[in-house]
Amino acid sequence: MASSRTFDESYYERFYGDPKTRVYSDKEHTSLATYVFAAARWNQLEIKSVLDVGAGIGLWKRWIEKNAPEVKYTGTEVSEVMCAEHGYKHCDIARWRDRKKYDLIICQGVLQYLSDPDVAPAVANIAAMAKGLVFFEALTRADLRERADHTRTDTDVFVRNGSYYRGLFAKHFVAVGLGLHWPRTLELPFWELDVAGLK
């Protein structure tokens, strides 16, 4: 179950369309996508398939179409508006699990919209579909208090401590650093000091 936020056209216009209130621009997102794909290349991890959970206005989709057209892209969304516009699968990650596995899964700005009972199933579903890197981004209590620009950040979310997410991720993943994670079910392809946390 999501927060009280309605993912309609006004939501996407405010947080992703209007230059005065959007979280970030295409140019800023390009830096993130370039970083994630460069990290994969540096570690000799081939990306042939991408699952974009909560794909929104299609920032990842557009970047991949332009910069990695050989990659098979799949986007999911709970927003019917975005599904109609971009052709995403209309599904809730807390209740949906594809039979396919993906080389890269992106879950950016999604988990904070899920209620507590839905977060663990969502992360478990992502882990079950991962055969490579996973990029997580979730707004935390410390982020809201110390880092976030409240004029550009949606605060109608479930606010949690970073330790909550780290503990949940650690059940399924090894933290590689800067948002990247690796499934515990797979052999680590990284040098020891490149891994942020091993338990």
Q: How confident is the model at residue 2 (pLDDT cuts 50, 70, 90)?
A: very low
Cite the DSSP H helix spans in the chain: 9-12, 26-42, 59-67, 80-86, 116-129, 141-146, 162-170
pLDDT reading at 4 higher than 80: no
Class of domain 9-194: alpha beta
pLDDT reading at 102 higher than 60: yes
Task: With residue 103 as reference, give the H or E element that holds it.
Answer: strand 102-108
Q: How confident is the model at residue 48 (pLDDT cuts 50, 70, 90)?
A: very high
Give which of 190, 154, 149 is closest to 173, Cα–Cα: 190
- In the chain, the N- to C-terminal Cα span, in Å, equals 31
pLDDT reading at 70 higher than 60: yes
**Higher per-residue pLDDT: 5 or 154:** 154
Give which of 83, 79, 78 is closest to 94, Cα–Cα: 78
Per-residue confidence (pLDDT) for residue 1, from 0 to 100:
36
Per-residue confidence (pLDDT) for residue 7, from 0 to 100:
81
**Higher per-residue pLDDT: 23 or 148:** 148
d(CA 152, CA 39): 28
Tokens (6 digits) for 28: 């800023």
Q: Is the dihedral of CA 13, 17, 21, 23 positive or negative?
A: positive
Q: What is the mean pLDDT of the chain?
A: 93
| 3-state DSSP assignment of residue 182 | strand
- Across 44-55, b (16+ Cβ under 10 Å) vs e yields ebebebbbbbbb
- List pLDDT tens digits, range 104-139: 999 999 999 999 999 999 999 999 999 999 999 999
pLDDT reading at 68 higher than 70: yes
d(CA 87, CA 77): 10
Which percentage of the chain shows pLDDT scores above 90?
Answer: 81
| 3-state DSSP assignment of residue 19 | coil
Tokens (6 digits) for 89: 């699968």
